[in-house]
Structure 1
């Protein structure tokens, strides 16, 4: 791909600017629709005073956590803003724009996350209140939960599309480079919110289950369990705030890749068509949200799937029509493309339409495939539930096996979509643009996808509020149980689709990475050597292995963080049961605030290490080994990350729904040995599906964007007059040192429950460091518990 064909020479005509302005208006219309849905959700009844009190406690805990998290992340944002300003750019305007829109991307990502949390903590009590009416209130409860997600979905597509449109209007040919900063800001914040929220929610969930369900034999959301409020808070800061930010950054980064490659492949029309596709997605998202409703006797999952498929078909028809209406029949009619491409390529409208259709079909296939492996009505989860009859070990083994198997099929499907899009053209740059357009096609459904994801934690919280208040029983409780199980499946589906977007965007960004290297080489008098990027070259293979290893390290750090935080929760909940006997007989209230404080502090403390690993590892590889090994690094991270993310998400989802099956009366029901076995499986799966697995998606894109941004600097210090081995290796050594220090500090916190419990809030007893407590007598002597 030659640099001379890229966006810098492209100017937008008056008609082009009018089209971009129209796209911006569509984006603003999405925000208006979101506001209308927001008003509708908030108009629903809030149930009894007791239900409202519980919801208020969840609201306060979630807001307090995110406010503290944003203050912590503000430091990272300022530092990265300064570093971005120092990186090479075409001119000062591009450097300023890239840095400023990094801030914009980060703020938009944070806004989407905060909105997801804010609304879900208000919708949960409304869903519970609707379910009080039993089966007659089922449809309303489902509608409130799904339209809550619809609000977040509309703001996701609205802000993402509006930000991209504004950049194109202001910067025209330089827009793709400026959008690198926009995408990086969105991805970085999403990764931190995913990791922090995931640690919070699963520490509380695991701690609540281990002490409440397993040790005290009380229900999951029993108000006597001090971790219940923290568990409900965690659903919102992890699954709602974190996933909303995650899908927003998927949207932003896919647009970045499309615009960078589109200008090279299709000229000015390649800068505009990737904006038209998500604008169509706004229309289909509105349709998908409004038509969702369960028919009498129909399962909630079937209703949601039907809406998704209808919106996907509408997207396919409209995007195909747009491709043939906007794009010409030959490449020669496109402005700004090379003579070589114009002479050898076929019909750009056909290529664009086919690529978008591949992405839409991919979304539908992943929805079906993930639903099959995680839904309670299908054989895989039923088999996992059946293994509970022989104990927790077989539950865990069957869930791991299911995760491995489903990861293979999902990876093959995603790989097939990438390869299918790539085969649409014989030119590498056009083929890469087709891959990016496939990502845009997949994301035409993102409004419905976000609604599906938010549906899960809202339903889960609604069930928790109902159980804690005791004001919903009988048919109403059954409605909420059904919606909760549907939510588990929809969350797993959205995670599968999110990782698919990561792979498509990352594959497309390889083109931008190669372009950045070529341009830098031209400026320093170097020559691009393709053999430096061949996988069988030892240094490239080393980079590939390191990229795969980083995914394992990142996943291990995330799971260990949950282990440590959950250990602190277990100690605190046990202490409260032991020191306050009135909790069990209902005469004394648990100290919910203590558990929320522990989760907040521990999750924020654990943020730094995974974040530094994601940013510093590609810097270390790039400056230490070179641009070829860095390409291998990215390939290894993408391949391993795809398999790991799907494995973790589907195993966790299957364990969770297997537990739901037993709680619904199968294999002995609640309180049976089978139930205890599935609870253990669920606690293992919690950090899998809600912490480590989902965080891999933004991890891949953060590492890709860091690589694209540093590639010119790596070349500058490696080739030509400004080459400096001491500077280059000094940067690499510094990056390695930061990663090593962060990991060492993290490991010193201990990983075994009882080794080093986190300092409890003021007034709580503590266990001395390195004292492994295993005996009740010793526990009381040391201030700990068994």
Structure 2
């Protein structure tokens, strides 16, 4: 719209009624029950057998490396958290209580995100050896009766999925507990305080996602290029010095990083729903958005236990699909009961809403139920769509496998084309879902935006099972690695783990697809929260003679179109920085592994052990070193755009980032997942099998896809939410200094100038880093190649 924004007629600040307060307390108890179930599942997983001594020794090395990395990462991130805590204190708020609460719950959100990630890693590095030990039963010792192969496969799968169930319960339990606590403590002020809670969760998740992604893919790419391609040895051969780092990376990237990512998706969606709920549904809007995911917690418990493989199942994916759909159907039924039991039949009967909504025709129960249903159906459809493009039994992956017969170039081309095509279908589904929810609001933009947020909470009802699906992947991958390194699992037992790993690749791709859907729904809902913050700030600005064009959202204005382009460009730059970081670190790993093979020829004949700790240390140092640039870009780019080009340009910037980010994230995730499973397809004996030219081609495709699907792609999810939350937090200040009696061009220029200078400096420093490949002689030009890569004392051995 042209001209200044028209302030919304906000409802009088509601307070929790006794009934709503009791409901929120019950929701908090449900959250605690989820954590209690997690404890039960932990005991079940740890009760399983750990296997042979060699398997335990390898698992202990992985545990040591993962713990060391996360400890160093948390120490690094603590600096960012403390700085953000005090910066939040400087941003405008209605009163001191809000400002303090926002900063405190910023730390709570960050700590909860860290706990979720750490628990995911802690249990995964203990579960992997137990899954491998369960598969070992398929190849009994001489004199022992043969085991039932189906039973063995089911037992291994159950251990891996129950591990994911623990992480799922922590995700939904802590997310719901944090949001409930804010509502109970701050009541009408809860939405403002929740901005800090969501920002803390999103910021930490982005750092963990980027750092863990760089670590895991640097090790994976380095291990594959030297081990598989150059030396012709298996992926997890113990002679490869990068194998321990590769297994560590699976846990710090896919377990810790993805768990934190999905936790912040959960938290940020709740934040957006509660902010808009206060405007659209008044008092009920502070409780109802919590009720929907609370139902999801209960149904997730059922869904996790429903993943019980049957003999009639075509693959492990059948059991996982069954658990997911059982959870989704029960959630839908539970939500229907809750909606009609809790909400009135008329908007006029809602307590504390504004006059523009109380007079709105229609039934709030219908709006809520249909919006939530849209979110649940979206999750189910994306699950099937992503599975189609990434499962080994489907045509797209088989086509990539077939392309390997003509070399690596066609493998790469077919994977890129698959990713680009799949991104279109996913974007259409997400876009139609957002628009369908938006239409439910009729003439009220606030009801429409709240419907979008409710669709997000509907998708959250499946998050417990989705997180379990995601963690299942790296646990299965690690189990196969431990089995291969130990040499104690072979024959049918090894095939069980190979099959589980292929299923795990698909579940990881599916969860990435659903994660970007939650990111778009949350970002769109936060867009509404952003508008509400702007409207409130404009009302307080007491406009004077200032130029109001800085507030216009008209896309025909050049400054707004520039903001749109900048938002899309930041997604590309962020992705490029992440992939470049993996490339640099992987180069160092390649040279280190090559050096060890060259300097210690006894490694290949088994008379010498590789120095695993050196590779772990390289990956740790590089991952932590590379964190700053993408983090500064995500936080400061919205600041630079908002203070230089105005609030309208900032809104356009967010729109550009959401659009480009959606397509980019799905493209990267699906291309990478399809390449990975095409490699599995060839390794299962198709097109010449292991060691063939087709195998080498798919290994190269998988290597290209590794940073796509596990670093840059999933990191876009928290990137979108971090930028939206930063925009939401700075919106009042941007309005204040752009419009009204306090307009101050000097302040805007200084803030924008400093932000741009920091971004440029960070990117410049990042691009100046060379690929430290063991020494200046290996670098050729000597630029940045002399970095010290000596081990810092890591004692990781196997």
Q: TM-score range by the shorter chain?
A: over 0.9
Q: What is the alpha-carbon distance in structure 1 between the residues aligned to residue 326 and residue 16 of structure 2?
A: 35
Counterpart of 1:778? none
Pairwise CA distance, 1:342: 2.0
Question: Which of 555, 561, 579 lines up with 2:575 in the alignment?
Answer: 555
**Secondary structure in 1 matching 2:552:** helix
**Secondary structure in 1 matching 2:287:** helix
Counterpart of 1:126? 130
CA distance 1:106–1:619, change in 2 (3 Å): same
**Does the alignment pair 1:191 with 2:206?**
yes
Task: Report 1:97-176 matches (<5 A).
Answer: 97-134=101-138, 135=149, 136-176=151-191
Q: Is the 8 A contact 1:569 1:598 kept in 2?
A: yes
Q: Is the 8 A contact 2:551 2:646 kept in 1?
A: no
Of stretches 511-520 and 378-387 in structure 1, the one that deviates more from structure 2 is 511-520
Q: What is the alpha-carbon distance in structure 1 between the residues aligned to residue 312 and residue 688 of structure 2?
A: 26
Q: Is the 8 A contact 2:202 2:721 kept in 1?
A: yes
CA distance 1:736–1:51, change in 2 (3 Å): same
Q: Is the 8 A contact 2:12 2:354 kept in 1?
A: no
Q: What is the alpha-carbon distance in structure 2 between the residues aligned to residue 418 and residue 723 of structure 1?
A: 36
How big is each residue's C-alpha offset from its partner over 1:72-92, in whole Å with a ceiling of 9 and x where there is no partner?
Answer: 000000111110000000000
**Does the alignment pair 1:382 with 2:398?**
yes
Q: What is the alpha-carbon distance in structure 1 between the residues aligned to residue 595 and residue 369 of structure 2?
A: 61
Q: Is the 8 A contact 2:737 2:745 kept in 1?
A: yes
Question: Which of 438, 453, 460 lines up with 2:455 in the alignment?
Answer: 438
Task: Report 1:438-457 matches (<5 A).
Answer: 438-457=455-474
Question: Which of 284, 298, 319 lines up with 2:335 in the alignment?
Answer: 319
| Structure 2 gaps, min length 5 | 139-148, 784-789, 791-798
Pairwise CA distance, 1:7: 6.8
CA distance 1:101–1:556, change in 2 (3 Å): same
Pairwise CA distance, 1:769: 5.0
How big is each residue's C-alpha offset from its partner over 1:346-390, in whole Å with a ceiling of 9 and x where there is no partner?
Answer: 100010000000000000000000000000010000000000000
Q: What is the alpha-carbon distance in structure 2 between the residues aligned to residue 524 and residue 16 of structure 1?
A: 34
Counterpart of 2:13? 9
Q: What is the alpha-carbon distance in structure 2 between the residues aligned to residue 182 and residue 7 of structure 1?
A: 23
Counterpart of 1:291? 306
Pairwise CA distance, 1:112: 0.4
Of stretches 132-141 and 337-346 in structure 1, the one that deviates more from structure 2 is 337-346
Counterpart of 1:545? 565
Counterpart of 1:701? 721
CA distance 1:568–1:408, change in 2 (3 Å): same
Q: What is the alpha-carbon distance in structure 2 between the residues aligned to residue 738 and residue 203 of structure 1?
A: 27
How big is each residue's C-alpha offset from its partner over 1:697-734, in whole Å with a ceiling of 9 and x where there is no partner?
Answer: 00000000000000000111112222211111110010
Task: Report 1:274-289 matches (<5 A).
Answer: 274-289=289-304
Counterpart of 1:615? 635
Question: Which of 254, 265, 273 lines up with 2:288 in the alignment?
Answer: 273
Task: Report 1:254-403 matches (<5 A).
Answer: 254-298=269-313, 299-403=315-419
Pairwise CA distance, 1:530: 11
Counterpart of 1:488? 505
Task: Report 1:642-657 matches (<5 A).
Answer: 642-657=662-677
Pairwise CA distance, 1:771: 3.6
CA distance 1:530–1:568, change in 2 (3 Å): closer
How big is each residue's C-alpha offset from its partner over 1:648-688, in whole Å with a ceiling of 9 and x where there is no partner?
Answer: 00000000000000000000000000000000000000000
Q: Is the 8 A contact 2:306 2:326 kept in 1?
A: no
**Secondary structure in 2 matching 1:717:** helix
Counterpart of 1:628? 648
Q: What is the alpha-carbon distance in structure 2 between the residues aligned to residue 52 and residue 556 of structure 1?
A: 38
User: How many residues matched?
Assistant: 765
Pairwise CA distance, 1:297: 4.5
Q: What is the alpha-carbon distance in structure 2 between the residues aligned to residue 158 and residue 311 of structure 1?
A: 17
Counterpart of 2:587? 567
How big is each residue's C-alpha offset from its partner over 1:374-424, in whole Å with a ceiling of 9 and x where there is no partner?
Answer: 000100000000000000000000000000000000000000100000011
Q: Is the 8 A contact 2:550 2:648 kept in 1?
A: no
**Secondary structure in 2 matching 1:267:** helix
Q: What is the alpha-carbon distance in structure 2 between the residues aligned to residue 25 and residue 657 of structure 1?
A: 41
Question: Which of 222, 229, 233 lines up with 1:207 in the alignment?
Answer: 222
Q: Is the 8 A contact 2:550 2:647 kept in 1?
A: no
Counterpart of 1:478? 495
Q: Is the 8 A contact 1:757 1:767 kept in 2?
A: no
Question: Which of 17, 22, 39 lines up with 1:35 in the alignment?
Answer: 39
Q: Is the 8 A contact 2:636 2:755 kept in 1?
A: yes
Pairwise CA distance, 1:742: 0.3
Question: Which of 694, 702, 709 lines up with 1:682 in the alignment?
Answer: 702
**Does the alignment pair 1:239 with 2:254?**
yes
| Structure 1 gaps, min length 5 | 751-755, 774-782
Counterpart of 2:441? 425
CA distance 1:22–1:668, change in 2 (3 Å): same
Q: Is the 8 A contact 2:8 2:532 kept in 1?
A: no
Of stretches 716-725 and 150-159 in structure 1, the one that deviates more from structure 2 is 716-725
Q: Is the 8 A contact 2:300 2:462 kept in 1?
A: yes
How big is each residue's C-alpha offset from its partner over 1:479-522, in whole Å with a ceiling of 9 and x where there is no partner?
Answer: 00000000000000000000000100111111111111111111
How big is each residue's C-alpha offset from its partner over 1:120-171, in whole Å with a ceiling of 9 and x where there is no partner?
Answer: 0000000000011222311110000000000000011000000000100000
Question: Which of 86, 89, 112 lines up with 1:85 in the alignment?
Answer: 89
Q: What is the alpha-carbon distance in structure 1 between the residues aligned to residue 598 and residue 12 of structure 2?
A: 68
Of stretches 15-24 and 99-108 in structure 1, the one that deviates more from structure 2 is 15-24
What is the root-mean-square deviation in Å for CA atoms of aligned residues? 1.6
Q: What is the alpha-carbon distance in structure 1 between the residues aligned to residue 709 and residue 518 of structure 2?
A: 18
Structure-2-length-normalised TM-score: 0.94
Q: What is the alpha-carbon distance in structure 2 between the residues aligned to residue 769 and residue 461 of structure 1?
A: 33
Q: Is the 8 A contact 1:459 1:487 kept in 2?
A: yes
Q: What is the alpha-carbon distance in structure 1 between the residues aligned to residue 356 and residue 208 of structure 2?
A: 45
Q: What is the alpha-carbon distance in structure 2 between the residues aligned to residue 597 and residue 531 of structure 1?
A: 50
Counterpart of 1:600? 620
Q: Is the 8 A contact 2:571 2:660 kept in 1?
A: yes
Structure-1-length-normalised TM-score: 0.96
How big is each residue's C-alpha offset from its partner over 1:36-95, in whole Å with a ceiling of 9 and x where there is no partner?
Answer: 001110111100000000000000000000000000000000111110000000000000
**Secondary structure in 2 matching 1:9:** coil
Q: Is the 8 A contact 1:456 1:487 kept in 2?
A: yes
Q: What is the alpha-carbon distance in structure 2 between the residues aligned to residue 655 and residue 768 of structure 1?
A: 30
**Secondary structure in 2 matching 1:344:** coil
Pairwise CA distance, 1:6: 4.6
Q: Is the 8 A contact 2:418 2:671 kept in 1?
A: yes
CA distance 1:592–1:531, change in 2 (3 Å): closer
Q: Is the 8 A contact 1:2 1:515 kept in 2?
A: no
Q: Is the 8 A contact 1:7 1:173 kept in 2?
A: no
